Amino acid sequence: MSTDGSERFSFVTRFWGIGLKALRPDIEIAGSPERSEFRTVIEGQDGRQYLLENIPGRVCQRKKEIALFLDLLAGQGLKEVLPYRKAADGEHLVEHQAKWWQLQPFIAGAALKRPDYAFEEWRGGVMAEFLIALHRCGKAVKDASGGGVFSLPSYIRGIIGDMREHDPGHLFRVEAAVRFLKEDFMGAYPGLPAAFCHGDYHPLNIIWSEGGIKAVIDWEFCGVKPELYDAANMVGCLGMEDPRSLDGECVLSFLRRLRESGVYQPVSWRYFIEMIIANRFGWMAEWLRKKDRDMIELEGDYLSILLENRDYFRGAWR
């Protein structure tokens, strides 16, 4: 470790009591790098590795909320969360030289072989088990969150408004999906059972072992949402990896285990394909923000696949 690196991150020892042994920029970090301004793995004098992140000031309050939610989930026995480490003053975030920082354990995982993983039956089962556990442990977090239920219809209307103003040439890619969702789903949405959800649950936000889940990361979009929100996002992402996986063993084992658990209400299952289609608008917004034309086109094609085959998928997933 260089002297400059040692001096730059000396606050780690002062605030968290972890003697800094080495910086590990050579270690690849899972999850989205956009969640922080800077992040790196450090090695402490205790022999453990930690993920150190520099947080934009504008999201500090949200980061504090997420840290509290993870503490609550861990306290309820959800072993796949990685709570942030508290500093000596008991806070999850610390300020140093006008920058905000947070620290959590770092866990290395097994790489996903794409797109093969989307067809592996065992992954469906373990991904379902996590959601079942989250649904049970998240009741305390839902009560403590104090926020309302996230409105997916309002979010979609906002995306359509932005597209009309900034990307009218792409509106035709989503118009059929919007008409479909308006038929029944948007009106029924306020009455759907809600639960505390991860909000961005997909295979790349999971730290994998060779046969299971070590941890689930990137909780930035967590909150109270329709109870099958995470399941819909997962199936939608598996299908985006390869549409043939939508009736493959990974998806089928995932949905079979969720249904067997009995934790989700029948009305939620009634609108499952609608929830998947509605969730894809968040991804479309991401591609539009990045001006990624290839992904915009691909997302539009994927929406068409879901719409045109919705009756088939309803039958296959039952």
SS (H, E, C) 223-290: EEEECCHHHHHHHHHHHHHCHHHHHCHHHHHHHHHHHHHCCCCHHHHHCHHHHHHHHHHHHHHHHHHH
Q: Measuring CA to CA, which residue among 52, 31, 69, 35 is closest to residue 106?
A: 52
pLDDT on residue 11: 67
Q: Label residue 9 by pLDDT band (50, 70, 90).
A: confident
CATH number, span 3-105: 3.30.200.20
In three-state secondary structure terms, 80 is coil
Using the CB atoms, write b or e for 80-115: b if 16+ within 10 Å.
bbbbbbbbeeeebbbeeeeebbbbbebeebeebeee
Are 190 and 152 in contact by the 8 Å Cβ rule? The answer is no
Token code pair at residue 237:
């992402």
pLDDT value for 228: 98
Mean pLDDT of the chain, nearest integer: 94
Quote the CA–CA distance of 305 and 290 in Å, as a whole number: 23
Mean pLDDT of 1-19: 67
Does 182 score more than 70 pLDDT? yes
Domain(s) labelled CATH 3.90.1200.10 in the chain stretch across 116-317
Does residue 179 have a pLDDT over 70?
Answer: yes
- pLDDT tops 60 at residue 64: yes
More confident residue, 119 or 143: 119
DSSP state of 199: S
> Where along the chain do the CATH 3.30.200.20 domains lie?
3-105
Say which residues have a Cβ less than 8 Å from residue 37's Cβ, sequence separation at least 6. 54, 55, 56
**271-281: pLDDT as tens digits:** 999 999 999 99
Q: What is the pLDDT of residue 13?
A: 67
| CA end-to-end span of the chain | 56
Q: Which CATH class is domain 116-317?
A: alpha beta
Residue 172 Cα to chain centre, angstroms: 28
3-state class percentages of the chain: helix first, strand second, coil last, to nearest 5: 55, 15, 30
Mind listing the pLDDT tens digit for each residue in 104-141? Answer: 999 999 999 999 999 999 999 999 999 999 999 999 89
Q: Which residue has the tokens 């249904």?
A: 259
Does 32 or 244 have the greater pLDDT score?
244
Check pLDDT > 90 for residue 34.
no
Provide the pLDDT for residue 7. Answer: 66
Average pLDDT over residues 214-237: 97
**Strand partners for 51:** 41, 104
